[in-house]
Amino acid sequence: MKMEQASQDIHAFTADDRAAVYQTIFSRRDVRGQFLPKAVPDEVLSRIITAAHYAPSVGFMQPWNFLVVRSDEVKRRVHAAFAEAHAEAAEMFEDDKRATYKKLKLEGILESPVGICITCDRKRTGPVVVGRTHMMTMDLYSSVCAVQNLWLAARAEGLGVGWVSIFNQAALQAALGIPKGITPIAYLCVGYVSHFYSKPELEAAGWLPRLPIEELVYFDQWGHSDKQQPLIRQLMRDQAAAQAAVNATERQPVTMPDPLY
């Protein structure tokens, strides 16, 4: 039994290293309004982009590019594209939701020192790709993995990242000179921040709650849940522990601005 346990643990990180990984995951936030004017050093930017490049990709096609935006003029063009789509989006909500939506700060395009647009070149390795033969969207999902890698690496570096998705695709492509055949996946606002919230801002604002994890896990067949499963009870404990750990370790500012701007 001890030999079996040793075999299982041989590839595990140390307890401290494992805790750091989970802390990064649980304390990652979508940052909108807390950016500081401090520049991001090239060596830090290099590390997080390298982490993104080491994301998994279908057929190892590595479909991503990383467009780094530092020019104020380009940021203004990107912001104009956002503002147009943002106004359109507001009209899609009704009554109280529309009023709340208009108060939310949903980007930090002009405030963040750096913007990074991660894209997907769907033709990078030809028309037939291992693993994409039947699910053609797998290349898009691969680029999203690069986004997550960058986001977690940035959090470990003390950087905030905000994913801005409220764009008409053609307008964002025009603002950044992205060819029509290249798909923008994420425009990320990146920089040092004054603080990280203990909860996602949309959760704190009452837009939507975090879903109970026990309602999201099925067994063997879609929709087949079993609340008596030991795994379900463990998931509930771990979700509670994760939030408690984040609440206990977050460094809050002396005065926190309202998450609604």
* Alpha carbons 103 and 110: distance in angstroms, whole number: 18
Q: Could you report the per-residue pLDDT of 107-133, keeping only the tens digit for each? A: 999 999 999 999 999 999 999 999 999
User: Six-digit token pair at 162?
Assistant: 């905000």
User: Has residue 132 been placed in a domain?
Assistant: yes
Examine the domain organization and report whether 219 and 160 are in the same domain.
no
pLDDT of residue 246: 74
pTM, two decimals, is: 0.89
* Alpha carbons 63 and 191: distance in angstroms, whole number: 25
How far CA 91 is from CA of 95, 202, 240, 241, in Å, comes to: 10, 19, 37, 39
Examine the domain organization and report whether 47 and 119 are in the same domain.
yes
User: Has residue 15 been placed in a domain?
Assistant: no
Residue 254 has pLDDT above 50, yes or no: no
* Alpha carbons 124 and 128: distance in angstroms, whole number: 10
- Nearest C-alpha neighbor of 180 from the set 126, 121, 117, 115: 121
Residue 81 has pLDDT above 60, yes or no: yes
Q: What is the CATH number of the domain that holds 122?
A: 3.40.109.10
Residue 198 has pLDDT above 90, yes or no: no
Average pLDDT rounded to a whole number, residues 144-156: 98
Residue 247 has pLDDT above 80, yes or no: no
User: Has residue 181 been placed in a domain?
Assistant: yes
Confidence of residue 257 (pLDDT cuts 50, 70, 90): very low
The residue type at 23 = Q
DSSP-derived secondary structure for 33-69: S-B-SPPPPHHHHHHHHHHHHTS--GGG---EEEEEE
pLDDT of residue 227: 84
User: Has residue 42 been placed in a domain?
Assistant: yes
Residue 69 has pLDDT above 50, yes or no: yes
- The single-letter DSSP state of residue 213 is G
User: Has residue 237 been placed in a domain?
Assistant: yes
Q: Tell me what the pLDDT averaged over the chain comes to.
A: 91
pLDDT of residue 253: 40
Structural domain span for residue 159: 28-209
User: Has residue 5 been placed in a domain?
Assistant: no
pLDDT of residue 9: 83
Residue 6 has pLDDT above 80, yes or no: no
Burial 204-242 (b: 16+ CB within 10 A, else e): eeeeeeeeeebeeeeeeeeeeeeeeeeebeebeeebeeb
End of a domain among 192, 209, 226? 209
Number of domains in the chain: 2
Examine the domain organization and report whether 77 and 161 are in the same domain.
yes
User: Has residue 23 been placed in a domain?
Assistant: no
Average pLDDT rounded to a whole number, residues 190-213: 92
- Residue ranges of the alpha helices (H) in the chain? 2-9, 15-27, 42-53, 72-90, 95-103, 138-156, 169-176, 201-204, 230-249
Average pLDDT rounded to a whole number, residues 45-74: 98
What end-to-end distance do the CA atoms of the chain give, in Å?
A: 57
User: Six-digit token pair at 81?
Assistant: 């594209």
Examine the domain organization and report whether 222 and 167 are in the same domain.
no
User: Has residue 160 been placed in a domain?
Assistant: yes
pLDDT of residue 260: 33
> pLDDT > 70: what percent of the chain?
92
Confidence of residue 216 (pLDDT cuts 50, 70, 90): very high
Confidence of residue 2 (pLDDT cuts 50, 70, 90): low
Examine the domain organization and report whether 105 and 158 are in the same domain.
yes
Examine the domain organization and report whether 66 and 98 are in the same domain.
yes
Q: Could you report the per-residue pLDDT of 221-241, keeping only the tens digit for each? A: 999 998 889 999 999 999 999
